[in-house]
C-alpha cells in the first residue's frame, strides 16, 4: 500500500490508505513525507507544490509533531534539522497550507523566521529562509483539499491508477519490484510504459525520492533500475530504451566501470547517504533489482 500513487491519493482522497513511499499519516489523515536533499525554505515549498500539489508540512498537534519527527529520523538519519511549512513573526505562525495557528513547539530563543524541526530535540527553531536543508511535505492538511488542489477540469486522471503523476514533467511514473532488466522491460511495457529515461537533476531527484526504499543505506540492496542500456564497451556507449537522447548521466565516482565486461544495465543508488547518493552505476542486467522505474507521458 505504501507505494500507491500520490495521484491516486489526490483524486480519491484515500489519505489513510495511500500515503506514499515512506511517508507517515498524521492525526487528520494528512500525509507527511520527507525530501532528503537541501533546499531553501522557498524552494522547499515550491518543490512540494509543483511536484506533489502539496505544501511544506504544517504541524497542528504534539501527535503530528511526533509522527513527523519519527518519520524524518527514520528517512534522513544524517539530517540535523528540516524545514516544515511555517513562518514565525515572533508572535504567531503563518502556515503555507493555510492551516490555523493552533499549536507551537518552539525551543528557547526562537527569533522570527522560517520554522525548522530539530531532529535531535524534536523542538522547533527558526532559520534564515536561504538556509539549505532537507524538508517535509504535507498532503491533505487542514485547508489542502485534494479535490480542489487538482488544477484540472477533466474527470479523467492524467495517469493510470497506481502511477505517480508528476505535474512538472507531465509524466507518470511507477515502480515494479524484484525484477531483472528483461522482466522489468516487459513489465513496464505491459503496463503501457517503458523503463524510465532520466534527463535532468530534477527528474533524477524526483524519481530517486519517489522510489527509494527509505533505508538510508549504502549496502547495495536498494538499487533502482532505470532504462539505460549499454550498446558497446565504451564509457559513452549507453542509450535509453525509450529512444530519448542520452543527454544526462550523473555517474557515481569511478563509474561506469563495466566490471568484468558484464555491466550492460543502469541503476540509481537512490538510498545511499554518501557522496554517491542518487548517482548512477552501470550494473549487471541479470541481477534481480529491488525496484525498477517505469515511465509514460501523462495524458495532459
Nearest distance from C-beta of residue 260 to Ca ion, angstroms: 10
267 binds Ca ion (CB under 5 A): no
Give how many residues touch Ca ion by CB under 5 A: 5
Q: Which is nearer to Ca ion, 105 or 255 (CB)?
A: 255
Nearest distance from C-beta of residue 209 to Ca ion, angstroms: 23
The residue whose Cβ lies closest to Ca ion is 282
Region from 204-212, 217-225, 245-253, 282-290 binding Ca ion, contact rule CB under 5 A: 282-290
27 burial class (0-12, 13-18, 19+ CB within 10 angstroms)? exposed
Nearest distance from C-beta of residue 259 to Ca ion, angstroms: 5
Nearest distance from C-beta of residue 274 to Ca ion, angstroms: 16
Nearest distance from C-beta of residue 13 to Ca ion, angstroms: 43
Sign of the Cα torsion 223, 227, 228, 230 reads positive
Q: Between residue 182 and residue 201, which ones bind Ca ion under the rule CB under 5 A?
A: none
For Ca ion, the binding residue among 163, 281, 285, 289 (CB under 5 A) is 281
Q: Which is nearer to Ca ion, 30 or 281 (CB)?
A: 281
Contact present, 173 and 207 (Cβ < 8 Å): yes
Q: What whole-number distance in Å separates Cα of residue 137 and Cα of residue 58?
A: 9
- x/- string (CB under 5 A) for Ca ion, residues 232-261? -----------------------x-x----
Q: Which is nearer to Ca ion, 28 or 287 (CB)?
A: 287
Nearest distance from C-beta of residue 258 to Ca ion, angstroms: 7
> How far is C-alpha 94 from the chain's CA centre?
25
List residues near Ca ion by CB under 5 A: 255, 257, 263, 281-282
Amino acid at each position: 500500500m505504501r507505494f500507491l500513487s500520490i495521484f491516486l491519493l489526490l483524486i480519491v482522497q484515500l489519505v489513510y490508505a495511500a500515503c506514499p513511499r515512506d511517508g507517515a499519516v498524521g492525526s487528520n489523515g494528512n500525509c507527511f513525507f520527507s525530501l532528503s536533499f537541501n533546499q531553501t525554505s522557498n524552494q522547499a515549498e515550491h518543490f512540494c507544490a509543483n511536484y506533489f500539489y502539496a505544501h511544506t508540512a504544517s504541524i497542528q498537534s504534539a501527535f503530528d509533531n511526533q509522527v513527523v519527527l519519527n518519520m524524518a529520523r527514520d528517512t534522513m538519519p544524517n539530517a540535523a534539522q528540516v524545514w516544515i511549512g511555517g513562518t514565525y513573526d515572533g508572535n504567531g505562525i503563518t502556515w503555507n497550507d493555510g492551516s490555523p495557528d493552533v499549536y507551537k513547539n518552539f525551543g528557547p530563543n526562537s527569533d522570527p523566521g522560517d520554522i525548522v524541526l530539530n531532529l535531535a530535540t524534536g523542538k522547533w527553531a527558526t532559520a534564515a529562509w536561504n538556509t539549505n536543508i532537507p524538508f517535509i511535505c504535507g498532503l491533505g492538511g487542514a485547508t489542502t483539499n485534494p479535490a480542489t488542489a487538482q488544477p484540472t477540469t477533466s474527470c479523467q486522471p492524467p495517469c493510470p491508477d497506481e502511477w505517480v503523476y508528476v505535474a512538472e514533467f507531465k509524466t507518470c511514473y511507477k515502480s515494479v519490484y524484484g525484477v531483472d532488466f528483461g522482466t522489468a522491460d516487459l513489465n513496464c511495457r505491459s503496463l503501457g510504459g517503458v523503463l524510465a529515461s532520466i534527463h535532468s537533476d530534477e527528474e533524477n531527484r524526483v524519481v530517486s525520492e519517489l522510489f527509494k526504499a527509505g533505508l538510508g543505506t549504502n549496502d547495495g540492496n536498494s538499487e533502482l533500475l532505470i532504462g539505460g542500456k549499454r550498446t558497446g564497451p565504451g564509457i559513452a556507449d549507453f542509450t535509453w530504451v525509450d529512444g530519448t537522447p542520452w543527454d544526462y548521466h550523473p555517474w557515481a565516482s569511478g563509474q561506469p566501470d563495466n566490471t568484468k565486461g558484464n555491466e550492460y544495465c543502469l541503476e540509481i543508488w537512490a538510498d545511499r547517504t554518501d557522496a554517491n547518493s542518487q548517482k548512477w552505476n552501470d550494473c549487471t542486467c541479470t541481477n534481480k533489482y529491488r525496484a525498477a522505474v517505469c515511465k509514460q507521458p501523462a495524458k495532459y
